[in-house]
Amino acid sequence: MVCAVSAAVTATLVTTVSSPAAAVATPGAAASPGGGLLPGPLNSVLPLPALPAPSLPALPLPLPLPTIVKPPASQPSPLPPIVQPAQPGGPGTQPAQQPAQPAAGAPGNEAPAAANPNVPVTPGNAAQIIANDPGADLYPQVPVDPADTPQARLVARLSEVQHRVQYLHNTIARTQVDLAVAQRQAGAVPSLITVLTSNTGDTTPTAGSYQGSVDSPEGRVLALTSAVASGQGELARRQAEVQNIQQQVNSSIQQAILNPAPVPATAANYGGGKLRRPVPGAITSTFGNRFDPYYHVWQLHAGADIGAPTGTPIVAAAAGRVTQAGWLGGYGYYTCIDHGQVNGQRMSTCYGHQSKILVTVGQQVSAGQVIGQVGSTGASTGPHLHFEVRLGGRPVDPMPWL
């Protein structure tokens, strides 16, 4: 009977991993004791849905089993509406204090994937947004171009898998909190059962044994343990995939830098070569997925952070045209510059958390021209420059460019 329970739980986890319809966690339950990262029910298996086919195919299902249905938790009280502030960020503007974040939706801005566009993202509601969609962007993302070239499709694939890694990190963290609570509720017996059944070869569960297992404390611990193991297995595969794609993207970037297209350098085209470092200073946080120090959930860090004191001049990394200059949610005061085409993709650099913006939208800037000053506006824990390189609007690692 123990072997049947264990194998049934394993098959159940395959079902939850492969079911996109189960991707939304039930909101509203209290946060787990013991420092849980995300709010939500303490006794529910958080599913791990696959991305839409064909890019990330679903895992095979050896035996169809019923879905666990839990009663909905009480709904949380609605978040307070945002008070729309005056638009900050004009040239030479420096606020007396950091303004409240305005709602997304201005031209060129997009709201986070799971956030209410009328409510600012704060450390208080970020966990609820991630509970509803572990892959959500808490930082507004600029519009992207169609992926209609091999290089563009490669960059789009990188972005897709990186968001999957973010999703898995947040889901595993949530499930580990649920597992810790289940283990405390069930006592020491489930730990022994987990050890005794970890090496079983029985893979013929029945619906009856499945139903009995999830209704027992021991089965609950086994189910959550299997969920964590399943998620960690996919996470390792996706992280290896990110590294592989990142190497290919960086290789194409190096080719573009060393062998630029025969297009003359103009005010809107930097003409190839390495980008200028926008500020002096050490890299304090690199590009990629990380546990966000401001929102306290896993997020894709779309650029590199360069440590510098408040007021340090920021220079344009290359010549181009300013396409964005103003406040953008967690990015604070944010500027983007279009530098023309690279390997068939629109290349731009963006500069976040500024204390002062010194350019306007539509302005032509030259390489090395001062465009703003370092600050700590938006979702920032200290003065630094958040520097991005985007291809077709999608972020890539800026370090190979510098």
Q: Please report, as a single letter, which amino acid is at residue 201.
A: G
At 155, is the secondary structure helix, strand, or coil?
A: helix
If one counts every other C-beta atom within 10 angstroms of the C-beta of residue 51, the result is: 17
Model-level pTM? 0.68
Which position has the token pair 């492969």? 18
pLDDT > 90? residue 155: yes
Please compute the mean of the pLDDT values over residues 255-280 and round it to a whole number: 72
Q: Rounded CA gap, 349 and 292, in Å?
A: 22
Report the share of the chain in percent with pLDDT over 90.
47
- Report whether pLDDT(29) > 50: no
* High-pLDDT (> 70) share of the chain, %: 60
Handedness of CA 228, 127, 169, 292 (dihedral sign): negative
Dihedral sign computed on CA atoms, order 173, 178, 183, 185: positive
Strands 370-374 and 345-357, sheet pairing: antiparallel
For 165-212, the pLDDT digits (tens) are 999 999 999 999 988 888 888 876 555 555 555 544 444 444 344 344
Instruction: Give the residue with greater pLDDT, 359 vs 33.
Output: 359
Output the six-digit token pair for 18.
């492969």
Q: What was the pLDDT predicted at 21?
A: 36
- d(CA 23, CA 81) in angstroms, rounded, equals 27
CATH number, domain 263-401? 2.70.70.10
Residue 357 pLDDT grade (very low, low, confident, very high; cuts 50, 70, 90): very high
Tell me: pLDDT of 26 over 50.
Answer: no
Give me the pLDDT at residue 25, please. Answer: 37
Predicted pLDDT of residue 258: 74
Q: Note the pLDDT tens digit of each residue in 57-80.
A: 433 333 333 333 333 433 333 333
Task: Report the C-alpha gap between 121 and 269 in whole angstroms.
Answer: 35
Cβ atoms 379, 332 nearer than 8 A: yes
Distance CA 348, CA 27 (A): 38
pLDDT tens-digit map of 229-248:
999 999 999 999 999 999 99
Q: Encode pLDDT of 363-397 as tens digits.
A: 999 999 999 999 999 999 999 999 999 999 999 99
Task: Please give the DSSP secondary-structure letter assigned to residue 93.
Answer: B
Coil, helix or strand at residue 52: coil
Instruction: Respond yes or no on whether the N-terminal peptide bond of residue 54 is cis (omega within 30° of 0).
Output: yes
